[in-house]
Amino acid sequence: MADVKKIATRESYGNALAEVGAQYPNMVVLDADLSAATKTGVFKKAFPDRFIDCGIAEGNMMAIAAGMATCGKLVWASTFAMFASGRAYEQVRNSIGYPHLNVKIGATHAGITVGEDGASHQCLEDIALMRVIPGMTVISPADDVETKAAVRAACEYDGPVYLRTGRAGVPVINDNPDYKFEIGKGIRLKEGGDVSIVATGLMVNSALEAAELLAADGIKADVINIHTIKPIDKDILVKTAQKTGKVFTAEEHSVIGGLGAAVCEVLAEECPVKVNRIGVYDVFGESGSAGALLVKYRLDGKGLYEQIKEKM
């Protein structure tokens, strides 16, 4: 797959902001001194008057975003996932979540594929932290196409959204005319009756690769892309669980509290089947290239395939 087009979802995010900026005159973008990395700099260049650099003060930025939203602004507040969901957790909860304000949190650099910066910057807990906030929508897009669609959908939706993107390039997998993004609606990417692979973010690509390898072994996988972790698509989860009776979740996040946990919560109540959560197993990350880390943590296509085989 050497010639596959790869784009980092943070890139897609920054481009999408600039693309929709003209459509939403009330839209403003806030950043905390990371606009070159989060790619909000693309918006800044296109709409300098609607870009506000809050400096290195993420908690303050979130509450500023909240204040602006009360005045009718459609606010995107951006920083790394670690700081957006971790450092500024309580500001997000109390100043954005509690009053259910129209703030979109553009959290880039999620997961281990932050790479060389290491564990201090590799947020593996953000999905868990954000989805426990009442009324928070949590979206983790898989590729360029999905990220841009998610930005548009988030702009149309009135309420707080956490949008999780990554630093490393990921293959474009949704570039087809039938692709349709709807908040809260999972997407079946592959039909199969033997096992279900429910994935989010860049793990959707790994899931597709793992499904190919499983197919070579005669195992047909139902591959589901859960781009919206909250509200989660119960229907698609129950249907795939009923069909295969065996569910694997895959996420570039801790197995505690993230997609796997969300899927378990649904299936335990609606359709109890065995679920194996594949992700980062309650450890911190480390420095290394994104690719090498995905291999080490067995989250690339081959690693995922092997983990599924071992647990089957």
Partner 1 sequence: MDNLELKRHANEVRRGVLIGTHAAGAGHPGGSLSAADIFTYLYFEEMNVDPANPKDPKRDRFVLSKGHTAPGLYAALAEKGFFPKEELTTLRKLGSHLQGHPSLKCTPGVDMSTGSLGQGISAAAGMAMAGKLDNADFRVYTLLGDGELEEGQVWEAAMFAGAKKLDNLVVIVDNNGLQIDGPIEEVNDPNPIDKKFEAFKFHVINVDAHDFDALRAAFKEARDTKGQPTAIIAHSLKGKGISFMEGQVGWHGKAPNDDEFAKAMADLDKIEEGLK
91 contacts partner 1 (rule: CB under 8 A): yes
The answer to whether 58 is a known catalytic residue is yes
Nearer to partner 1 by Cβ, of 97 and 115: the residue is: 97
Cβ distance to partner 1 smaller for residue 54 or 266: 54
Helices (H), the chain: 9-20, 35-38, 40-46, 58-70, 81, 89-91, 126-131, 144-156, 203-216, 234-244, 259-270, 290-296, 301-311
Is 68 a binder of partner 1 (CB under 8 A)? yes
Q: Which residues contact 299 (CB under 8 A, 6 or more apart)?
A: 112, 203, 206, 250, 252, 278, 279, 280
Q: Which residue from 2, 3, 72, 180 is in contact with partner 1, where contact means CB under 8 A?
A: 72
- CB 61, min distance to partner 1, A: 8
CA 33 to chain centre: 22
Task: Return the closest-CA partner of residue 202 out of 245, 253, 153, 151.
Answer: 253
User: Which of 94, 119, 185, 256 contacts partner 1 by CB under 8 A?
Assistant: 94
CB 235 within 8 A of CB 188: no
Contacts of 268 (CB under 8 A, 6+ apart): none
C-alpha angle 25/13/54, rounded to 5°? 65
CB-nearer residue toward partner 1: 52 or 119: 52
- Between residue 100 and residue 139, which ones bind partner 1 under the rule CB under 8 A? 100
To partner 1, the closest distance from the beta carbon of 103 in angstroms equals 10
CB of residue 58 to partner 1, shortest distance in Å:
9
**Minimum CB distance to partner 1, residue 121 (Å):** 21
> 112 Cβ partners below 8 Å, 6+ apart?
122, 124, 252, 280, 285, 290, 293, 294, 297, 299
Among 6, 24, 37, 59, binds partner 1 (CB under 8 A): 59
Task: Please identify, using beta-carbon distances, which residue of 98 and 157 lies nearer to partner 1.
Answer: 98
Of these, 23, 70, 242, 289, which contacts partner 1 (CB under 8 A)?
Answer: 70
* Active site amino acids: 58
Q: Which residues bind partner 1 (CB under 8 A)?
A: 28, 49-50, 52, 54-55, 57, 59-60, 62-73, 90-91, 94-95, 98-100
